[in-house]
Amino acid sequence: MTAADVRRTATADARETAAVDKGPAAPPDVRRTVRAVQEAALGWLSRNRAHFALGDDALARDGRVDGSWKPLGELAQVCATLSVRTPASDPLHACVRDLLAFAWRQTGEGALFLEVQRAEPFATYPLEVYAAFASAGLRHPGYERAAATVAATRGWRLTEQLPTRRLGVLCAERQIGLRRDDNEPELLARTWLGGLPEPWTFERASGYALTHVVFHLTDWGRGGPGLPPALADHLAHWVPAWLVTCLEGGLWDLACEVAAVAAGVPAAGTDATFEAELAGAWARIAAVQFASGALPEEDGRFAAEVPREETVPRRDGAPASGESGFRLCYHSTLMAAFAAGLTLARWDDPRGAQPPSSPAPGAHHGGMPLTHRARRDAPVGTRTPHRTTGGTG
Amino acid sequence: MKQSGTSALLQGAVQDLASGVASALRGGGHPSREPLDAPLRPTGDLDLAAARVLGADLLLPGVLDHTPPPGARELDLARRAFDAYPPPATAAPTVAWSHWALGRALHRVTGPSGTAPAPGRVPEPGPEPDASWLTGAPWPSLTHHLAVLAPLALPVEDCALTRVARGRTLDVARGFVRAVRRRDWYQAAGAGRWLTVLPDVPHTLGLPGGLDFVELMGGGDSRVLLQVRAARLIGSGVTV
């Protein structure tokens, strides 16, 4: 099936999905569209994985974290989830494990985290990146001991961060077994999503904040304590409107993140519109995905920010060749693969949004919204810089 | 895009009419702000066309309790627009419903308990148009059409269209969110008005604040202002 075929099929599927009655199901052709998007995205990421490699500046005191550790951590985070949510017999499972192994090698199999910590002992981003690997079983005991020493200080615990970022650090700590007594429900309530905002106040920045709260609570689709009932209801009500307006606005990166969130909303609380919008989103995403597999971050950015000849990847399917082109589409391509994997997993699992390692459904809806029982890791963030502890300088 | 002369004139006439109604809904006198016994000034094609665009809302102050009755000019315009633009059999459903709603409003305000300043009851407008086309409409399309037909969003209105809307509250609420996100203030205001008459609106929508926001951002358009004020009145419990 050619890319054009996929797009034609996807358009037809979008019409068909309007007839979806209830529950997490989708016509086979829609599933094929989602799968095609995921395969193409992972193919591009694999061909361009060299761009994720840590450079000499990764350990520099004034190094740009956003251009080194951040992309690598995001690659690890996505692949850690996809390796869990993809059957071992699936060729894509081997693909994401290979990417994960590549990323782990970039860290010296964990040894570089120790070096980064020596340079910036109270920076939180190394722990967040490390936690992504740890969630996939890639661990470095020496770094974990060092991280525990630092995390035991009052200064570490008093690091000033926005609530969403703070939730991410707490998740990272739990991922490697560190505990503290922060009042997480109170912290959650101070996030944009946790405060149950009026849905019409959604904008780009709040959109990224909300997706990350969900990623923290669901361990990036791998488990976690899940969504408190009020949050799950809020998402079940308003995600269709947020998703559609991201798609209509050409915000492809954010749309994929919102689709990933949608895939994690317990199916029991959703309706036909919700399920149809999640399925229908893939026709639009497939339609803007380049033949190479890369997904533009948003409409207009290529033309506005890079010279025409550097509009990478080209539609002829050539892999990205320039660093600038890579930076403009790597994250959205990662999110496309991520959201596609979670969407397919939602449809594969008769329980809907329940990841394989998650607690029983009842555990998601009873008692406190966040517990310290479940293991979670930290996201590596997306549009928010990691350096929140004073940086390397 | 530059508007054609006729289009700009029509839009101006619609704005004038809507501004009068919006003012009346806030207690600013009857829509035209002219004495009831003042002689009617000549009505041109532009006025009729504007009245057709505004539809039943031209008479809204006379339909809702505690608002000033329609002025003689509005009533005359409404009657003439109703007669001048009968929808053909091939008319789009929204056109047919809009015409039916105008007839319904005329019937209300000229009835025994109506507020029309002049005698002469207008009969019921005839059978309702078909509403089945809206039953399975995707929610963005549903919201778009309902916003166009916002004059039917009244406290006790019971017709096929309102029955469809009552079964899709959440979709209309999502449509309100989408309209605000798209900065389509007219659609947002119309959807907001519908939500004041629909059951089980999620409280997390924050509709009162949403209406304030729509007025803040889009209230410079009199048609938006009209819908926001209508929504507030209906939401406060005003009946017909």
Per-residue pLDDT of A245-293, as tens digits, reads: 999 999 999 999 999 999 999 998 899 999 999 999 999 999 999 999 9
- What residues contact residue A66 under an 8 Å CB cut-off, 6+ apart? A385, A386, A387
Query: Which residue bears the tokens 């269209």?
Result: B161
Best-predicted range by mean pLDDT (A358-372, A377-391, B75-89)? B75-89
Residue B101 inside a domain? The answer is yes
**DSSP secondary structure of A56-115:** GGGGSTT--GGGTHHHHHHHHHHHHHHHHHS-TTSHHHHHHHHHHHHHHHHTTTTHHHHH
Q: Are A391 and A120 in contact (CB under 8 A)?
A: yes
Helix (H) or strand (E) holding B176: helix B169-181
Residue B3 inside a domain? The answer is no
B145 and B89 in a common domain: no
Residue B1 inside a domain? The answer is no
Q: Give the Cα separation of A354 and A349 in Å (integer).
A: 7
B158 and B99 in a common domain: no
The amino acid occupying position B175 is G
Whether the per-residue pLDDT at B22 is higher than 70: the answer is yes
Q: Give the Cα separation of A250 and A285 in Å (integer).
A: 10
B169 and B234 in a common domain: yes
pLDDT of residue A263: 96
Single residue among B99, B129, B159 that ends a domain in this structure: B129
Site from B135, B177, B195, B216 to mutate, A interface, most A CB atoms within 10 angstroms: B177
B95 and B183 in a common domain: no
pLDDT of residue A381: 39
Residue B2 inside a domain? The answer is no
B127 lies within 8 A of chain A by CB: no
pLDDT, one tens digit per residue, over A51-75 is 999 987 777 776 678 778 999 999 9
B19 and B122 in a common domain: yes
Residue B99 inside a domain? The answer is yes
B66 and B159 in a common domain: no
B139 and B120 in a common domain: no
Domain hosting B87: range is 8-129
Q: Give the Cα separation of A310 and A331 in Å (integer).
A: 17
Which residues of chain B does A241 touch, with a Cβ-Cβ cutoff of 8 Å? 174-175, 177-178, 181
B204 lies within 8 A of chain A by CB: yes
The amino acid occupying position A181 is D
Whether the per-residue pLDDT at B223 is higher than 50: the answer is yes
pTM > 0.90:
no
What is the mean pLDDT of the segment spanning A110-115?
Answer: 96
Residue B181 inside a domain? The answer is yes
B160 and B48 in a common domain: no
B125 and B139 in a common domain: no
Distance from CA of B190 to the nearest CA of A (A): 15
Single residue among B112, B129, B146 that ends a domain in this structure: B129
Site from A16, A198, A200, A271 to mutate, B interface, most B CB atoms within 10 angstroms: A200
Q: What are the structural domain ranges in chain A?
A: 3-364
Phi and psi based region of residue B145 (left: phi greater than 0; alpha: psi -120 to 50; beta: remaining): alpha
Enter the tokens of residue B239. Answer: 């009946």
Q: Give the Cα separation of A106 and B194 in Å (integer).
A: 57
Residue B193 inside a domain? The answer is yes
Single residue among B113, B129, B145 that ends a domain in this structure: B129
Domain count within chain B = 2
Residue B15 inside a domain? The answer is yes
B213 lies within 8 A of chain A by CB: yes
Helices (H), A176-271: 184-189, 204-217, 229-248, 252-263
